[in-house]
Chain A
């Protein structure tokens, strides 16, 4: 059984069905690439896997190490080793990166009431900042506040490096980065993957094949209209690079999907906080 199994996942947002029966299996030690045109549902998949309450799961299931992922709160998913590098991370004014990172690392490492020792934290932090060539001054800034697009993406990868996930999803980390930055990020991720020695699986979501020249996937999947329509090896990414998504669009039809209004709707994550 794969570490992460997505079966017939059907997801809607308000009055629109976005995922229409998606199936995918990822295990530790594997790198998967997920490609597809804009609007095909790639980011929705990533968010649903992490438990974003904005999305409603109407059908299907997700098993993480054999357990019902959709029943877990986002924080529990994270503590159990699931990670997403967001495409558009939000800012948290007044909270420094250092304090945020230490809190997150402590949670991931099973500290409950107290935080991990500051010395140990700082040693790891310095190392990862260096690996990813991030200015150390970033840690005294507020989380994502005033960050450039590139800084946000690097900060997400910094979190990935510190939290040592078992399954990591990178949601269009390459978009908005110049080619040098893509290479730095990709090299960092590749190093993480190698250092994890088979204990990390990665799903790289991307619109372009550029990043895949640096992060070598074993599997490439193409998503279209909320479904996985083609899967293959690394060659598939190169084909798409040449042909673009027009071929895919011509080959597959947009299927009609009815919005569920009955009580079967299941949120991606439970509503864990006070209702507004």
Chain B
């Protein structure tokens, strides 16, 4: 029997739309003022500088207008949001210690299995706190730190203070200011000089309370010559009222280091997903963002790389899928602020059933960034006449000795392609799926296997009913 929620969405069909009863130790009240910000800081027993930082960010948040370009954010009710919820008193260090219902949630997400197969460390976010955390001993021996950001603030205060907010300051934009004021959880990763972390660090994120904003804060520091691949996969349950996800991710990639950051997000379709992700790449460093955006009501996310020293490289690959009532506004920004820097942006967007997806990007090359190269490619696939794709590529080029290419395509699934596949016995819906999977393949093949499988499955889920 189909279980239907108030939105009329079949919960059984939406496999990851399950919910567990709420069982919280502490629940903050709705809405935000300076007292709530101070309370959050006090709850966490933070040092003075962080409390001051939060309050300063809050001040800026109140004065800063909402961005008016891009997606329509007018319907977010900021007064109706919980800005902090603490799920359990303390963090669990092992699977056994986790509360049963949180465990069940993760069972459904397949974390234990993933861990057996693949993981060396899991930092899973349930509500605003990281409750489950497991880091392999050998990484600790290498000096790698992979903890939630609250723990990092307690255990590595100097490291955090040195880098926190240096890439995305509170004054960057209104939503970054909001995150800076009320942030909770997120991951802190520190990779010492020359250390290669061979197995991806993975974190699962999950929102599970109505009207609860999720404001995680992630900080990754790659010392010279190091390598790390950080992977976050997000699935969210279905809710009846709007939810907000406003994260900030800061990454510092030092000389000769390489960092890859992979995201697969599948927020339920009422979530506003407004994320600021930015990296700074130093001499000969490489930063790679791989970003898969499914679900959510609105996603605005433009992973950025500031290439500030010669030889730095940036790669931004993104996939967005917008279905009914969804607006995906993803993209990327590359800032060439030094000679011989290179960037590649590949964006693939799919829209169907009235959805709106596209690409918004910036290529900025400063005068003096001689010999820099940038290649942008954005492809849009529109599955029906009701859907829409927008492309907003911005180029600000102040240096002549550079090489820049930009390619954009907008295509529809052609009847010829569907007919061809069907003429081989493939059913119409599977034929459509094959074409869409093929369209995103250049991005999917960059993902770790289990995420590639998951992304393909999520796309299939999104595609249900696309063929009449």
Chain A interface (Cβ < 8 Å from any Cβ of B): 50-54, 73-75, 77-79, 83-84, 86, 89-90, 92-95, 99-100, 103-104, 107-108, 142, 159, 163, 269, 272-276
Within the complex, which residue of A50, A83, A94, A276 is in contact with B385, where a contact is CB–CB below 8 Å? A276
Contact indicator A53/B423 (Cβ below 8 Å): no
Contact indicator B424/A163 (Cβ below 8 Å): yes
Contact indicator A90/B414 (Cβ below 8 Å): yes
Per the bound structure, the CA–CA distance linking A84 and B422 in Å amounts to 11
A120 to chain B, nearest CB (A): 17
B136 within 8 A of A: no
Within the complex, which residue of B416, B423, B426 is in contact with A51, where a contact is CB–CB below 8 Å? B423
Knowing A53-B419, A273-B468 are in contact, say whether A92-B434 is a contact too (CB < 8 A): yes
Knowing A53-B415, A86-B420, A274-B466 are in contact, say whether A75-B428 is a contact too (CB < 8 A): yes
Which chain A residues lie closer than 8 Å to B139 at the CB level?
Answer: none
Which chain B residues lie closer than 8 Å to A95 at the CB level?
Answer: 434-435, 437-438, 441
Contact indicator B467/A107 (Cβ below 8 Å): no
A–B pairs, 15, beta carbons within 8 Å:
A51-B423, A53-B419, A84-B423, A92-B434, A93-B438, A94-B440, A95-B435, A107-B424, A107-B425, A107-B427, A272-B418, A272-B428, A273-B432, A275-B384, A276-B415
Give me 20 other A-B pairs in contact (C-beta within 8 A), A52-B419, A274-B467 excluded.
A50-B423, A51-B419, A51-B423, A75-B425, A78-B423, A79-B425, A84-B423, A90-B417, A93-B438, A93-B439, A93-B441, A94-B441, A103-B424, A108-B425, A269-B419, A272-B422, A273-B467, A274-B384, A274-B468, A275-B468
B302 to chain A, nearest CB (A): 25
Chain B residue with the shortest CB-CB distance to A112:
B427
Within the complex, which residue of B383, B412, B424, B438 is in contact with A142, where a contact is CB–CB below 8 Å? B438
Contact indicator B420/A78 (Cβ below 8 Å): no
Which chain B residues lie closer than 8 Å to A108 at the CB level?
Answer: 424-425
As a 0/1 sequence over residues 53 to 69 of chain B, the CB contacts with chain A under 8 angstroms (1 = contact) are 00000000000000000
Contact indicator B428/A73 (Cβ below 8 Å): yes
Chain B residue with the shortest CB-CB distance to A47:
B419
Q: Which of B429-445 contact A (CB under 8 A)?
A: 430-432, 434-435, 437-442
Contact indicator B425/A274 (Cβ below 8 Å): no
A251 to chain B, nearest CB (A): 35
Chain B residue with the shortest CB-CB distance to A95:
B438
Contact indicator A73/B422 (Cβ below 8 Å): yes
Per the bound structure, the CA–CA distance linking A103 and B421 in Å amounts to 10
Contact indicator B420/A89 (Cβ below 8 Å): yes
Which chain A residues lie closer than 8 Å to B412 at the CB level?
Answer: 276
Contact indicator A74/B422 (Cβ below 8 Å): yes
Which chain A residues lie closer than 8 Å to B432 at the CB level?
Answer: 273
Contact indicator B384/A276 (Cβ below 8 Å): yes
Per the bound structure, the CA–CA distance linking A163 and B426 in Å amounts to 12
Per the bound structure, the CA–CA distance linking A66 and B323 in Å amounts to 43
Which 4 residue pairs across A and B have the least CB separation, nearest first? A94-B438, A94-B441, A107-B425, A104-B424
Contact indicator A273/B418 (Cβ below 8 Å): yes
B173 to chain A, nearest CB (A): 35
Q: Which of B173-224 contact A (CB under 8 A)?
A: none
Contact indicator B442/A94 (Cβ below 8 Å): yes
As a 0/1 sequence over residues 444 to 468 of chain B, the CB contacts with chain A under 8 angstroms (1 = contact) are 0000000000000000000000111
Chain B residue with the shortest CB-CB distance to A86:
B420
Contact indicator B434/A78 (Cβ below 8 Å): no
Which of the listed residues A83, A90, A108, A142 has the most CB atoms from chain B within 10 Å of its own CB?
Answer: A90
Which chain B residues lie closer than 8 Å to A84 at the CB level?
Answer: 423
Within the complex, which residue of B418, B424, B428, B438 is in contact with A78, where a contact is CB–CB below 8 Å? B424
Contact indicator A92/B426 (Cβ below 8 Å): no
Per the bound structure, the CA–CA distance linking A275 and B384 in Å amounts to 7
Per the bound structure, the CA–CA distance linking A251 and B142 in Å amounts to 89
Knowing A90-B417, A95-B441, A274-B466 are in contact, say whether A104-B435 is a contact too (CB < 8 A): no
Chain A residue with the shortest CB-CB distance to B415:
A53
Which chain A residues lie closer than 8 Å to B441 at the CB level?
Answer: 93-95
Which chain B residues lie closer than 8 Å to A142 at the CB level?
Answer: 438
Chain A residue with the shortest CB-CB distance to B419:
A52
A268 to chain B, nearest CB (A): 10
Which chain B residues lie closer than 8 Å to A103 at the CB level?
Answer: 424, 426, 430, 434
Per the bound structure, the CA–CA distance linking A274 and B421 in Å amounts to 15
Contact indicator A272/B467 (Cβ below 8 Å): yes
B123 to chain A, nearest CB (A): 33
Per the bound structure, the CA–CA distance linking A108 and B426 in Å amounts to 8
Per the bound structure, the CA–CA distance linking A75 and B307 in Å amounts to 51
Within the complex, which residue of A54, A92, A93 is in contact with B415, where a contact is CB–CB below 8 Å? A54
Which chain B residues lie closer than 8 Å to A276 at the CB level?
Answer: 384-385, 412, 415
Knowing A273-B428, A274-B383, A276-B384 are in contact, say whether A92-B423 is a contact too (CB < 8 A): no
Contact indicator B428/A90 (Cβ below 8 Å): no
Per the bound structure, the CA–CA distance linking A263 and B308 in Å amounts to 67
Which of the listed residues B385, B419, B441 has the most CB atoms from chain A within 10 Å of its own CB?
Answer: B419
Contact indicator B439/A78 (Cβ below 8 Å): no
B130 to chain A, nearest CB (A): 36
Which chain B residues lie closer than 8 Å to A78 at the CB level?
Answer: 422-425
Contact indicator A100/B434 (Cβ below 8 Å): yes
Chain A residue with the shortest CB-CB distance to B384:
A274
As a 0/1 sequence over residues 137 to 159 of chain B, the CB contacts with chain A under 8 angstroms (1 = contact) are 00000000000000000000000
Which of the listed residues B385, B418, B424, B428 has the most CB atoms from chain A within 10 Å of its own CB?
Answer: B424
As a 0/1 sequence over residues 350 to 390 of chain B, the CB contacts with chain A under 8 angstroms (1 = contact) are 00000000000000000000000000000000011100000
Contact indicator A159/B439 (Cβ below 8 Å): no
Which chain A residues lie closer than 8 Å to B424 at the CB level?
Answer: 75, 78, 100, 103-104, 107-108, 159, 163
Chain A residue with the shortest CB-CB distance to B385:
A276
A60 to chain B, nearest CB (A): 21
Which chain A residues lie closer than 8 Å to B438 at the CB level?
Answer: 92-95, 142
Per the bound structure, the CA–CA distance linking A79 and B424 in Å amounts to 7
A246 to chain B, nearest CB (A): 34
Which chain B residues lie closer than 8 Å to A50 at the CB level?
Answer: 419, 423
Contact indicator A75/B417 (Cβ below 8 Å): no
Per the bound structure, the CA–CA distance linking A79 and B427 in Å amounts to 10
